[in-house]
Amino acid sequence: MTERNNILSVTKPFEIRFSEVDSMGVVWHGHYVKYFEDAREAFGAKYGLEYLMMYDKGFLEPIVDLTVKYKRPMVYGMKPEIEIVYRPTEAAKLIFDYEIRDAITKEVFVTGHTVQVFMDRYSHQLVLNNPDFYEKWKQKWEVNV
């Protein structure tokens, strides 16, 4: 885990399960999105930016941009790790980068990127300004741009 130079990140180990591989024994591409989600939940738990907290404050955070770049296949039984890194922005967005790698050799299997926007939970309208709780969160962690 890195917390220097105002870089917020979490590294989470996980295991490739049999249910996550296709008939060729390789992780099915759709599961990488789930791994990213698991990393975002770990990030939220560590830094106080949980989905339910934001929901209780009246916001939803849909993903509007998702990039997955496959470098090498992952197979059943592997025990990789995923690192998520928060990317500060002035916009009312949550931006994260991801790297899935071998926990021992650090060989990279997948990289990725997501952008989430804030939406009003009740009207489902896009929120163009940072919500107050998010501004306070950014100040607390000193990640203002």
The enclosing domain of 130 has a CATH number of 3.10.129.10
**Res 1: pLDDT:** 38
Cα separation, 78 vs 25, in Å, equals: 11
* Rounded (10°) CA dihedral 139, 118, 43, 2: -50
Single-letter amino acid, residue 21: V
- The structural domain count of the chain equals 1
**Res 6: pLDDT:** 81
Burial annotation 125-136 (CB, 10 A radius, 16+ → b, else e): eebeebbebbee
**Res 82: pLDDT:** 98
Q: Which residues of the chain have pLDDT under 50?
A: 1-4
Cα separation, 15 vs 76, in Å, equals: 8
**Res 141: pLDDT:** 95
Cβ atoms within 10 Å, residue 143: 16
pLDDT tens for residues 80-117?
999 999 999 999 999 999 999 999 999 999 999 999 99
Tell me if 132 sits within 8 A of 44, measured CB to CB.
Answer: no
**Res 3: pLDDT:** 42
Q: Would residue 110 count as lying in a domain?
A: yes
Q: Would residue 74 count as lying in a domain?
A: yes
Q: How many CA atoms lie within 13 A of 31 on its CB side?
A: 18
**Res 4: pLDDT:** 43
Q: Would residue 145 count as lying in a domain?
A: no
Q: Would residue 79 count as lying in a domain?
A: yes
Residue 19 domain boundaries: 9-140
Length of the chain measured in residues: 145
Q: Would residue 4 count as lying in a domain?
A: no
Please state, in angstroms and as integers, the Cα–Cα distance from residue 65 to each residue in 2, 97, 115, following that order.
25, 12, 5
**Res 5: pLDDT:** 56
> pTM value?
0.93
